[in-house]
Amino acid sequence: MLTGSPFLTQLRRAKISALGVYVPPRLLTNQDLEKMVETSDQWIMERTGIRERHIVDQGTATSDLACQAARQALAERGVQPTDVEAIIVGTVTPDMLFPATACLVQNKLGAKGAWGFDVSAACSGFVYALQTGAQFIQTGAHKKVLVIGADVMSAIIDYTDRATCVIFGDGAGAVLLEPAEGDGEGIIDFIHEVDGSGGCSLNMPAGGSLHPATHDTIDKKMHFVHQDGQAVFKYAVRKMAESCERILERNGFTGEDVKCFLPHQANKRIITATADRLKMPADRIIINIDRYGNTTGATIPLAMHTAREEGRLKKGDLCLVAAVGAGFTVGATLLRWAY
């Protein structure tokens, strides 16, 4: 387990100074899915809370969505791509196995001089990328780091599999990290954890070195997401709540102190179960899974965008970010919103 508090108290904090998001315009509604698999709008809403999700047109890649979100974030801050020193992309749907999607984003943005890499942590990808980027700010290595969560999940979903096709959507979100100007803002603490024994419960079996692409792997649909929904749900409910409780407790806070809870949007029932355990007021919980579905690496920046749009995220607010993903991966971040 990796924790951040012993170091964050000694080093300069990183803060989020800008935010940008992008989702493709095409919608896939529950009514559309009723025509594709044996399901219903009521069944999907009751079990997931999802009403619709955004899906890319053929030929649109993760790097395309990532660039749209990144441009928006940079424009909000008035920063040029050439000012960015590092780019970190959290994704499980890279344009290709190599080069990294961060390299493709760097080139498309014109971020000459920036270096970067991808982080693969599934639904915790943005949280992990955020903390990785924050370390470069905190140590003084960089002053401007672009962190992106982006996924084209529709590229790896079997739309004849009711267990997965109703859940996922496509999208991207980006934040710019810069040094905080005082102790009252920025990233306060983080907790990360993995449990590799859960890898069999949520994965894409083929496409790597273990099972390279063959006619057999394609025929067996091994290049799509495979999920044991029951196992994932149980683990996510338990670990999201545990990680949130631990990070709040060790920093002297309770759920009632949190002004904005920004959870990964995997399932509405997971979110509400976590909030109930933390005794968190309902008006502080950001839920937008109904309109986006689970966009994997993009859910948390999209939740930040929703919170700002609805006037529920203001400068100085104590924010709690939490995610659980395939791996299993777990991440929680405590921060004060800086703008």
Burial class (CB in 10 A: 0-12, 13-18, 19+), 212: exposed
CB-based contact 76:114 (threshold 8 Å): no
CA distance 159 to 307: 31
Tell me if 121 sits within 8 A of 130, measured CB to CB: no
Burial 254-285 (b: 16+ CB within 10 A, else e): ebeebbbbbbbbbbbebbbbbbebbebeeebb
Which residues form the catalytic set?
A: 123, 264, 294
Contacts 24+ apart (CB under 8 A), 70-73: 70/20, 70/105, 70/109, 70/146, 70/148, 70/174, 71/20, 71/109, 72/19, 72/20, 72/21, 72/22, 72/174, 73/18, 73/19, 73/20, 73/146, 73/174, 73/175, 73/176
* 8 Å CB contact between 50 and 79: no
